[in-house]
A and B are shown apart, each in its own frame.
Chain A
C-alpha cells in the first residue's frame, strides 16, 4: 500500500486557504480547526516531520467521515480522505491497534464458523440487550454495548445472513445469465443487516433481463478494516474477493452499496498498488465494478411501468461515496422518476450523513450531530420515504430519524422499483 510519506508532495500542496472549512461536516458540527482538512493535513505534515504529537492526533484523524467534500472543493485537489486512511494505517502500524477492535474487526470481516455461531446466538439473545421500536423495524440498544453504543437504533440482524440463505446459495452460478454475465458483490451491510436490498437487487436485475450470479466465498470489501487503520486485514480480504470473482469471467460486477463500490473501484488500487504481479488482475477486477443504479441506467436504460405517482413522496440522499467518488448522482434520481413515487428534492442532498470513516464508532455523538442536520432537511422536504443507495447511509438515517422523531421510511432506491 502507498505509504504516508508517499503523500508528502500532495500534503505540501495545501496553501492553508481554508476553503475546505466551508464544506466539512465535522467542522460544521465541532467548530474547531482540528476538524477540517486544513487542520488534519497540518497535523499529518507535522507527524511526518517527526514532531511530537499525542493522543489527540489519532482522535482527530479518526473523527473524519472520509466524505470527500474537502477533496472536491479543494483548488489544489488534495485527496484528504485518502491521506487520512494512510495516516491511520501508519499510526496503527507504529502503535498497534487496541486488541478489542482488532479482534472484532477480524472476526466480522473474515467470519470463521465460530464467529457465525456467536453472531447467531447473539441474535437469539437480542431482547436482553435491545428493545424493539414500534415505527421502523429496528432495535434500540438498552445500554452501552461494545461497538454499538447506547441508545443506537440498529436494524434487526439478518437471520439467516443473506449469503447463507438457501435460495441465494443456489444463485452461486447461473445456467443462463441473460443479456450479460453479471455478478453481485453483496457487502456486509446487505449480508448482515439489510438483506432485503440484496433480494430487491436480484429481482430488479431479473426484471431487466439479467440473471445475476451471487458468488459464494466473497467477503467484506475491506474498508472497515482500512478505516480503523488495519491495512493488513484490508489487503487480505481484497485479495480474497479478487480470487473469488476472477474465476467467473464476469462482464460486470454490480454492488448496491456505495461504499463497497468506491472501495472496489478506487481503494483496491491504492491498497494493492505494490503487490507483486497484481497490477493487471486488480485493473481487470476494478474496471468491471458498477453501482447498481449506474448499471441500471447507463447499461440497461431501465424503464418502470407508467404510474400515477400516488404511492407517496420520495426524496433522495446522495451517499458521499457515490456522488463524490464515483460521480453518480443523476442515475438514482432517474430511477426514482421511474418509480411509483413523486420525487421531491431536499436541501443539501449531498451532505454527509455522518456514518462514514468509522466516526459512528469512534464518536457516536459527533456522528449523530452530523446526522441531525440531515434529519432536519429530510423533515423539511415533507417526504414520506427517503431513498438512498448505500446500506451504511440507510442504517445511519434510520437511527437519526428515529431520534429526531421524523416519521419517514428509509430505503434503497432498488426497493422502490
Chain B
C-alpha cells in the first residue's frame, strides 16, 4: 500500500492531472497482450526524464515496485505490475526530432514506432525495425524487448539501430550511454547494447538516438501459396540460397493462420496449405529483376499459385492481413500459448516437421507463422482455456517445442522476450553461471529490486 505522504509526493512530482489512483485507470494499466491482469496501485504519466528520475529516487527509497510501460502490446507480460506499485506510462513522452544530414532520429520513449518511421520517411529516410505491432508499440517498448519484424532478415532488428539511450537508473540517476549522433563509439562498456533487450529491468529509457538509412526507392511483393507447410519452408531456404539477393521480408504462414485471418479479411486464402510473402526493395532497376527471380523460384519449388501485388494499395492490404494474424487466432482456440522460437535458417524445415510431430503427439492445434527468412517462427499452441486437461497438454507441448528448438541450435525467444511467461524455461537455454552473471548485473543496477521485479528471472537469487 502506498502511504499518504508517498502519494502526495508523487502527485507533486508529476502534477495532479498526470497521476491516478482511480480504479478505472488502474484497470486500464493492469494488462498487456498476454491478456493477464495485475492491478497497480497508481499510474503515472511523466513528461520528462527529470520527473522519471524523481519518481525512481522516491520509489527506490521507499521500496515501491515500478513497472515501465509503453503501449502494453508485449507478449510476455513485461509491463504487468506483478506486485502492484507504480505503473510508469511513457505515453506522454512523444517528442521526435530528425537530423536528416546526420541520418539520426531522436525519439521520446513513448513515441509510436510508426509515427517515428513516418516522420523519417517524410524527409526521405528509413527506420527499418518493423515489429508487426508497429502502429501501436512504442520506441521504448521496442528497445526494451529488442523488437524485430519482417525486415529483420535484410535490415536487422531494433538493436542494430540504437545509437544511444538516455536512461533513468532504478536508483534515480539519469545517464546517457553514448554520444548519440556518431555511428561508432567504443569508449567504455557497450551499455546501449545492455539496455536494449533488458525488458525494463535495468532502467527506464526516456529518449533514444536511432540510426536511419536512405529510403529504398521501390518495393515489390508477392504472395505464393503451397499445398504443404514443408514445401513453403523449403522455398524460403531456396530463395535465400539461390536468389542472389536478400528479400526485405520473407514471411511464412501456415494453413491454420490463413483460415483464421481470412475469416476477418476475406481475401480468399482460406483453404490453402501454406503461403509465403516475399518483399524486395531497392533501386527501381533491380527490384523487378529480383521479383522475377523470386517468382521463378516459387514456381520451381512447386507453388500452387504466385501472385505479384500490382500496386501499393494491394501491398498495404497484404501487410495488414499479415498483421491481423496473431490477434485473429482467437478464432482457433480461447487460449494461445504464443512462442517465438528461432533456429538457424537451414533448420526451418526440421523445425516445421518437429512441430507437426508435437501437434500429433500431444493432440493440440498448432498455428505457425513468422519471419521465416531469419529462422524466426511464431509457434502458437492453441487450446481451450476451460479444459484443464487440454491446457496441460498445451503446456507440455511448449516444453517439447523448446527442447526441439535448442536441439536444432536455436533460441527460445527471438523477439518477445522472457517476461513472466518464459521465465520457467530460461535455464534450458542459459547455463547456471551465465544466469548468475546476469543476476549480478541486475543487482548492480537495481540493488533494491524495485524496477520491474519478478521479470526474466524466477525469484531465487535476485536481490531482495
In the complex formed, the residue of A with least CB distance to B134 is: A22
B72 contacts A42, C-beta separation under 8 Å: no
With a cutoff of 8 Å between Cβ atoms, the chain B residues found around residue A204 in the complex are none
The answer to whether the Cβ of B91 comes within 8 Å of any Cβ in the partner chain is: yes
B24 contacts A17, C-beta separation under 8 Å: no
- Assuming the contacts A19-B136, A31-B91, A42-B28, asked whether A76 and B23 have C-beta atoms less than 8 A apart, the reply is no
The answer to whether the Cβ of B135 comes within 8 Å of any Cβ in the partner chain is: yes
In the complex formed, the residue of A with least CB distance to B22 is: A56
The answer to whether the Cβ of B328 comes within 8 Å of any Cβ in the partner chain is: yes
Q: Mark A1-44, 1 if CB is under 8 A from B, else 0.
A: 00000000000010111110110000000011110000100110
**A36-68 interface with B by 8 A CB criterion:** 39, 42-43, 46, 51-54, 56-57, 60
From the candidates B72, B91, B331, name the one contacting A18 in the complex (CB within 8 A): B72
Q: How far apart are A416's CB and chain B's nearest CB, in angstroms? A: 28
**Interface size class, chain A:** 20 to 34
The answer to whether the Cβ of B31 comes within 8 Å of any Cβ in the partner chain is: yes
> How distant is the Cα of A51 from the Cα of B114 in the complex, in angstroms?
36
- Assuming the contacts A33-B29, A42-B31, A75-B264, asked whether A18 and B71 have C-beta atoms less than 8 A apart, the reply is yes
> How distant is the Cα of A32 from the Cα of B19 in the complex, in angstroms?
11
A54 contacts B24, C-beta separation under 8 Å: yes
In the complex formed, the residue of A with least CB distance to B324 is: A75
Q: How far apart are B404's CB and chain A's nearest CB, in angstroms? A: 26
With a cutoff of 8 Å between Cβ atoms, the chain B residues found around residue A75 in the complex are 261, 264, 324-328, 330
Residue among A16, A43, A74 with max Cβ neighbours from chain B (10 Å):
A16
Residue among B91, B136, B137, B324 with max Cβ neighbours from chain A (10 Å):
B136
The answer to whether the Cβ of B73 comes within 8 Å of any Cβ in the partner chain is: yes
The answer to whether the Cβ of A405 comes within 8 Å of any Cβ in the partner chain is: no
In the complex formed, the residue of A with least CB distance to B114 is: A22
In the complex formed, the residue of B with least CB distance to A17 is: B327
The answer to whether the Cβ of A275 comes within 8 Å of any Cβ in the partner chain is: no
The answer to whether the Cβ of B35 comes within 8 Å of any Cβ in the partner chain is: yes
With a cutoff of 8 Å between Cβ atoms, the chain B residues found around residue A32 in the complex are 25, 28, 45, 89, 91
Residue among A19, A42, A74, A76 with max Cβ neighbours from chain B (10 Å):
A19
Q: How far apart are B88's CB and chain A's nearest CB, in angstroms? A: 13
Q: How far apart are B301's CB and chain A's nearest CB, in angstroms? A: 30
Q: Mark B78-109, 1 if CB is under 8 A from A, else 0.
A: 00000000000101101000000000000000
A18 contacts B24, C-beta separation under 8 Å: no
> How distant is the Cα of A74 from the Cα of B261 in the complex, in angstroms?
11
In the complex formed, the residue of B with least CB distance to A39 is: B28
- Assuming the contacts A15-B35, A17-B73, A19-B136, asked whether A53 and B328 have C-beta atoms less than 8 A apart, the reply is no
> How distant is the Cα of A43 from the Cα of B336 in the complex, in angstroms?
23
> How distant is the Cα of A16 from the Cα of B136 in the complex, in angstroms?
12
The answer to whether the Cβ of A251 comes within 8 Å of any Cβ in the partner chain is: no
A17 contacts B112, C-beta separation under 8 Å: no
In the complex formed, the residue of B with least CB distance to A42 is: B27
The answer to whether the Cβ of B32 comes within 8 Å of any Cβ in the partner chain is: yes
**Interface size class, chain B:** 35 or more
- Assuming the contacts A16-B32, A17-B326, A75-B264, asked whether A22 and B136 have C-beta atoms less than 8 A apart, the reply is yes
A56 contacts B136, C-beta separation under 8 Å: no
With a cutoff of 8 Å between Cβ atoms, the chain A residues found around residue B71 in the complex are 18, 21
> How distant is the Cα of A31 from the Cα of B90 in the complex, in angstroms?
10
With a cutoff of 8 Å between Cβ atoms, the chain B residues found around residue A18 in the complex are 33, 71-73, 133, 136-137
With a cutoff of 8 Å between Cβ atoms, the chain A residues found around residue B323 in the complex are 19
- Assuming the contacts A53-B23, A75-B261, asked whether A33 and B324 have C-beta atoms less than 8 A apart, the reply is no
From the candidates A33, A42, A54, A76, name the one contacting B327 in the complex (CB within 8 A): A76
A19 contacts B135, C-beta separation under 8 Å: yes
B330 contacts A76, C-beta separation under 8 Å: yes
Q: How far apart are B428's CB and chain A's nearest CB, in angstroms? A: 27
In the complex formed, the residue of B with least CB distance to A52 is: B23
A15 contacts B330, C-beta separation under 8 Å: yes
B33 contacts A16, C-beta separation under 8 Å: yes
In the complex formed, the residue of A with least CB distance to B75 is: A17
The answer to whether the Cβ of A164 comes within 8 Å of any Cβ in the partner chain is: no
Residue among A19, A33, A51, A75 with max Cβ neighbours from chain B (10 Å):
A75
> How distant is the Cα of A43 from the Cα of B26 in the complex, in angstroms?
10
A53 contacts B33, C-beta separation under 8 Å: no
In the complex formed, the residue of A with least CB distance to B331 is: A76
Residue among B45, B71, B112 with max Cβ neighbours from chain A (10 Å):
B71
A13 contacts B45, C-beta separation under 8 Å: no
Q: Mark B111-133, 1 if CB is under 8 A from A, else 0.
A: 01010000000000000000001
- Assuming the contacts A16-B72, A31-B94, asked whether A43 and B330 have C-beta atoms less than 8 A apart, the reply is no
**B199-244 interface with A by 8 A CB criterion:** none
In the complex formed, the residue of B with least CB distance to A30 is: B91
The answer to whether the Cβ of A199 comes within 8 Å of any Cβ in the partner chain is: no
The answer to whether the Cβ of A176 comes within 8 Å of any Cβ in the partner chain is: no
**A169-209 interface with B by 8 A CB criterion:** none
> How distant is the Cα of A51 from the Cα of B336 in the complex, in angstroms?
26
With a cutoff of 8 Å between Cβ atoms, the chain A residues found around residue B34 in the complex are 16
Q: How far apart are A80's CB and chain B's nearest CB, in angstroms? A: 14
- Assuming the contacts A31-B94, A75-B324, A76-B327, asked whether A22 and B135 have C-beta atoms less than 8 A apart, the reply is yes
With a cutoff of 8 Å between Cβ atoms, the chain A residues found around residue B137 in the complex are 18
With a cutoff of 8 Å between Cβ atoms, the chain A residues found around residue B91 in the complex are 31-33
> How distant is the Cα of A46 from the Cα of B137 in the complex, in angstroms?
25
- Assuming the contacts A18-B71, A75-B324, asked whether A56 and B31 have C-beta atoms less than 8 A apart, the reply is no
B94 contacts A19, C-beta separation under 8 Å: no
- Assuming the contacts A18-B136, A42-B31, asked whether A31 and B330 have C-beta atoms less than 8 A apart, the reply is no
Q: Mark B6-45, 1 if CB is under 8 A from A, else 0.
A: 0000000000000000111101111111110000000001
The answer to whether the Cβ of A77 comes within 8 Å of any Cβ in the partner chain is: yes
Q: How far apart are B386's CB and chain A's nearest CB, in angstroms? A: 12
From the candidates A13, A15, A34, A54, name the one contacting B33 in the complex (CB within 8 A): A15
In the complex formed, the residue of B with least CB distance to A36 is: B28
Q: How far apart are B220's CB and chain A's nearest CB, in angstroms? A: 26
With a cutoff of 8 Å between Cβ atoms, the chain B residues found around residue A39 in the complex are 27-28
- Assuming the contacts A18-B133, A60-B24, asked whether A13 and B330 have C-beta atoms less than 8 A apart, the reply is yes
> How distant is the Cα of A232 from the Cα of B351 in the complex, in angstroms?
59
Q: How far apart are A241's CB and chain B's nearest CB, in angstroms? A: 34
B264 contacts A33, C-beta separation under 8 Å: no
> How distant is the Cα of A46 from the Cα of B326 in the complex, in angstroms?
25
The 7 closest A-B pairs by CB, nearest first: A22-B135, A75-B327, A33-B28, A17-B327, A56-B24, A75-B324, A39-B28
Q: List 7 A-B residue pairs with CB atoms under 8 Å apart, sorted by A's residue number.
A: A15-B330, A16-B35, A17-B136, A21-B136, A22-B136, A56-B24, A76-B331
Chain A residues at the B interface, C-beta cutoff of 8 Å: 13, 15-19, 21-22, 31-34, 39, 42-43, 46, 51-54, 56-57, 60, 74-77
Chain B residues at the A interface, C-beta cutoff of 8 Å: 22-25, 27-35, 45, 71-73, 89, 91-92, 94, 110, 112, 114, 133, 135-137, 261, 264, 323-328, 330-331, 336
Given contacts A16-B72, A17-B327, 15 further A-B contacts (CB under 8 A): A16-B32, A18-B33, A21-B136, A22-B114, A32-B45, A33-B72, A39-B28, A42-B31, A46-B27, A54-B22, A57-B24, A75-B261, A75-B325, A75-B326, A75-B328
